[in-house]
Amino acid sequence: MDLAALRQEYMRAGLHEKDLEADPLAQFGNWFEEAMRSGIALPNAMTLATATKRGRPSARAVLLKGFDERGFVFYTHYRSRKGRELEENPQAMLLFCWEELERQVGIEGRASRVSAAESDEYFASRPLGSRLSAIVSPQSERVTNREALEILLEQAAKRWREAPPRPEHWGGYRLAPERFEFWQGRKDRLHDRLCYRKAAGGWKIERLAP
């Protein structure tokens, strides 16, 4: 397999300062709507990068479940690897990669837990199986085998039936953005990279070399 020969030319669009929204959240909203309309599977899928206090990184795909002027929300097990790392070091990064549109968006900031009421509301909206799995799964911990998890799930289903409560170990985080980077693929790898950085009273837009 010749990986060096795997190439793709980027020809779809460009990204110019004059076309950007002054507010990066509005710019993200525009791109997210385009991703939704494009038919991309799971346009809300994003890579969440975290790190320990000593800087050892880890990353995984999670789903965006809401965004507004306060930040970007996702849900997880608080005692999972990402949950433990966010407690040690709340600085994190989200990365959206919409390959079909030849676009990426990186968002850096500080993550904190959402309120219990907000977590309760979202938990109640999840499919029953997902709620039961959140109760029984010791996420990121070693388990004997799959059958052991399936037994726990069956026991939880019998106990809670249609109304499992949100476990205390499960809930949401909100990443409050401090930096955005919008990336648009361009011909000859001369990509467009436009960055928003927080400045006094607003956001400063800078172009970065590809």
Active site residues: 189
**Amino acid in position 51:** A
In degrees and rounded to multiples of 5, residue 104 shows phi and psi of -135, 150
Residue 162 tokens, joined:
């249609």
Query: Is residue 20 within 8 Å of residue 86, measured between CB atoms?
Result: no
Measured distance CA(46)–CA(76) in Å, rounded: 14
Report the candidate in 166, 183, 86, 89 with the shortest Cα–Cα distance to residue 122: 166
Number of helices (H) and strands (E) in the chain: give both, helices first.
5, 9
**Amino acid in position 210:** P
